Amino acid sequence: MNNDYQLATFSLKDKVSASEWQTRIDLAACYRLVANLGWGDLIYTHISARVPDSDDYLVNAFGLTFEEVTASNLVKVDLAGKVLDGSPYQINPAGFTIHSAIHEVRHDVQCVIHLHTKATITVATVEGGLQPWSQYALFALPSLSYHGYEGLAVNADEKARLQSDLSSNNYMLLHNHGGLTVGPTVGDAFMRFYDLQRACEIQLELMQSGKAVISIPPSIVEGIYQQANVVHSGISGGQKAWPAMLRKAYKLDPAFCQ
């Protein structure tokens, strides 16, 4: 068989620290879950995770589908985009611009998820953006920002504007482009994107219904974080849900942890 149709197989399990290996497991699982939910975009879009106690981060190899991502074939790069540890793969230049920009300034963030889903692109592109029309929207709205479209994200000058637009927020809609979430863990970033995606999907259905919509009052939007804290027993939604999501990823295909 032509080598172009075969993935390089190798394991880094005994060659990296235990904390880096766990991050690789979590990130690879996130890719598989995103693929299973139909949020992928062939070999495009990207999810990154900071290597613990480091400024380096892990991201998908450019050219692999999300179903092909494993803990070992994730690519480790520094903030300058240099591929580390002798990986045979390269990274998406547009992914480097977006992810390095955020990891460079958001030291509270371990994981960055940027996807081109139909729902997030559409809501990011309509006037008014995300509306308080569902419970899911409430999780995003108090921490949501927007970033204007500048073409393919390969211009280093865009990094400063991405950083400024995201600021301290955890959700961002990129006009004409898609959605982005960040979190202190892979699980938190994943659950935030889940909420953002659902909010956008519901908004689209309501827009298409042609019916008058009941908006949620601003006072309730402002109080949602306190209510969510009660529901999640004092820990984050990602921490609460991620063990179940890992079990789901193992059931889908345990090969991600190789």
Signed CA dihedral, 221, 135, 252, 39: sign only: negative
At 153 the pLDDT is 64
Residue 181 token pair: 């979430």
Phi, psi of 127 (to 5 degrees): -60, 135
Q: How far, in Å, CA of 185 to CA of 49, rounded?
A: 8
89, pLDDT greater than 90: no
- Which one is predicted more confidently, 103 or 12? 103
More confident residue, 153 or 234: 153
Q: What is the mean pLDDT of residues 100-125?
A: 96
Question: In this predicted structure, what is the pLDDT of residue 233?
Answer: 46
pTM for the structure as a whole = 0.90
Q: What is the mean pLDDT of residues 1-20?
A: 73
The residue-averaged pLDDT of 81-89 equals 85
Overall average pLDDT of the 62-80 stretch: 94
Domain that holds residue 36: 3-249
CA distance 155 to 208: 36
In a domain, 176, yes or no: yes
Q: 164 lies in a domain?
A: yes
Say if residue 154's pLDDT is above 90. Answer: no
- Residue 159 in any domain: the answer is yes
DSSP 71: T
pLDDT at 224 over 90: no
User: What's the total number of domains in the chain?
Assistant: 1
What is the percent of the chain with per-residue pLDDT over 90, rounded to a whole number?
71
Residue at 256 is within a domain? no
Asked whether the predicted pLDDT for residue 257 surpasses 50, the reply is yes
- Between 6-20, 139-153, 187-201, the lowest mean confidence (pLDDT) is in 6-20
**Would residue 258 count as lying in a domain?**
no
pLDDT band at 2 (very low <50, low <70, confident <90, very high): very low
Q: Which residue has the higher pLDDT, 247 or 91?
A: 247
Q: Is residue 255 part of a domain?
A: no
Task: Determine the average pLDDT of the residues in 148-171.
Answer: 87
Tally of CA atoms within 13 A in the half-sphere of 16 that contains its CB:
26
Mean pLDDT of the chain: 89
| pLDDT confidence tier of residue 229, bands split at 50, 70 and 90 | low
Task: Look at residue 22 and tell me if it is in a domain.
Answer: yes
- DSSP reduced 3-state for 33: helix
Residue 196 is part of a domain; what is its CATH number?
3.40.225.10
With respect to residue 151, please indicate whether it lies within any of the assigned structural domains: yes
